[in-house]
Structure 1
Amino acid sequence: MASLFNKIAQFARSPQGQRAIQQATQKAQQFAKDPKNRAKIDQFRTKLQGGGGKGLR
């Protein structure tokens, strides 16, 4: 299992991995800027924190 983690870490440090991480970060930021998606994120966060009534089951 450690070798799998090492391969992932090695990829993340590579130029190709850095580009993939940067693209994923940009997509996540764009997703979070949309008011509808932001509301969904906030609602889910509230459920996880236990302030949304029933919470996750």
Structure 2
Amino acid sequence: MPGLVSRIKAFARSPQGRRLVAQGRSAASDPRKRSQAMQLLRRLRGRR
């Protein structure tokens, strides 16, 4: 049974994985989405 990392690599090479990676890259380059993600991380870290 393949390990988790190899399964993730295989998914990233698939057409669906490539599409998701492209969406992630475009969202990361958008300043508004980037600030929303940072706010979410701050909230999640503050709940501990």
Q: Given the two structures, how large is their TM-score scaled by the length of structure 2?
A: 0.65
Q: Quick one: percent identity of the two aligned structures?
A: 19
**Which runs of no fewer than 5 residues in structure 2 stay unpaired?**
1-7
| Shift >3 Å, 4+ stretches | none
**Which runs of no fewer than 5 residues in structure 1 stay unpaired?**
1-11, 51-55
Structure with max Cα Rg: 1
Tell me how many residue pairs correspond in the alignment.
37
Indicate yes or no: 2:31 matched with 1:32: no
Q: Given the two structures, how large is their TM-score scaled by the length of structure 1?
A: 0.56
Higher helix share: 2
